[in-house]
Chains A and B, each alone.
Chain A
């Protein structure tokens, strides 16, 4: 399974550790809320809203360097817009990987 990395954030910061910490704090704060909202909408079968949540989560997936996961998220978002939950498991795995990664930071 593809693992997150800080390559984008490090490049963006230009070595500014304070900024890196600030941005990661923001990600750590936003990610659980976005994830929770996604699961809530998914469990309520509000697939269009869940697709919007996936859309937002895509940005976090991309800044954590998860390029293959990003492609899965794009396809999953499109599936949800068609009221189809194919790729749910794959997407859930991505969220778990990110959760574990952020918890360790």
Chain B
């Protein structure tokens, strides 16, 4: 069983590697300190199993799963037991390991992974249908420029153009908000105003009828506010 490890903490990756080395039919083929690198790898390669940390900066384990069109079996590894209920909303997640992981518990999770069968079509978030595409190509000055979708934090409509703001660069493209909205995964992006689509993961805070995202304060229309509130993990 070929597997990869995704965890921003080297200590955790070292431990999972060691636990895997004690199991004969598990082969750790790669390990990644973040989800983005793993997505790039999985665009070119297939694996049977992923050990996935939930709590990673910028792009959580759940965000990662939602980018996968045909996810393999996934064992979540986390220091936080509070996500267990959310974890089992995904058919591809076969077990949930709370750190520190013991060999006994690890072996049990692998037994579950070996015996688990599911159809990959049913493995994405049951409430959403994701494109599985991680890049978006936009036409600027007759060149097709590739934009990494998870890095987009804001799209603003301005007349016949849209401004796409990413972590590293901004782009102005002749298009409509509707067209780009159709290309972005619902799991990450939400239209909060007739002129704005935001990446929900990039929200810093919400106050009254506005959202702070990076350094931009974006209005939230009354009609879009309930959907935004539904998407938040409110305490």
Contacts and interface: CB of A to CB of B under 8 A. Distances in A.
Interface string B6-39: 0011111011001100100000000000000000
Contact of B14 (A23, A52, A81): A23
Given A12-B19, A12-B103, A23 B79 contact: no
A56 interface: yes
A56 B9 CA distance: 8
A86 interface: no
Contacts of A62: 79, 99-100
B69 interface: no
Interface in B48-89: 55, 57, 79-80
B209 interface: no
Interface residues of A, number: 21
Given A12-B15, A23-B18, A59 B10 contact: no
A8 interface: yes
A1 interface: no
A23 B11 contact: yes
B170 interface: no
Contacts of A58: 79
A13 B19 CA distance: 9
B102 interface: yes
B11 A30 contact: yes
B79 A63 contact: no
- Chain B contact residues: helix, strand, loop or mixed: loop
B11 A63 contact: yes
Interface string A43-67: 0000000001001101110110000
Interface string A6-41: 001001111000010011001101100000000000
A30 B9 contact: yes
A81 B57 CA distance: 15
Nearest to A22: B14
Nearest to A27: B11
Contact of B18 (A13, A29, A52, A56): A13
A59 B14 contact: no
B53 to A, nearest CB: 10
A26 B11 contact: yes
A63 B16 CA distance: 13
12 contacts: A11-B102, A12-B18, A12-B19, A13-B18, A19-B18, A55-B80, A56-B8, A56-B9, A56-B79, A58-B79, A63-B11, A63-B15
Given A12-B19, A55-B80, A56-B9, 18 more contacts: A11-B103, A14-B22, A19-B18, A22-B14, A23-B11, A23-B14, A23-B18, A26-B11, A26-B14, A27-B11, A52-B55, A56-B8, A56-B55, A59-B9, A59-B12, A60-B11, A62-B79, A63-B99
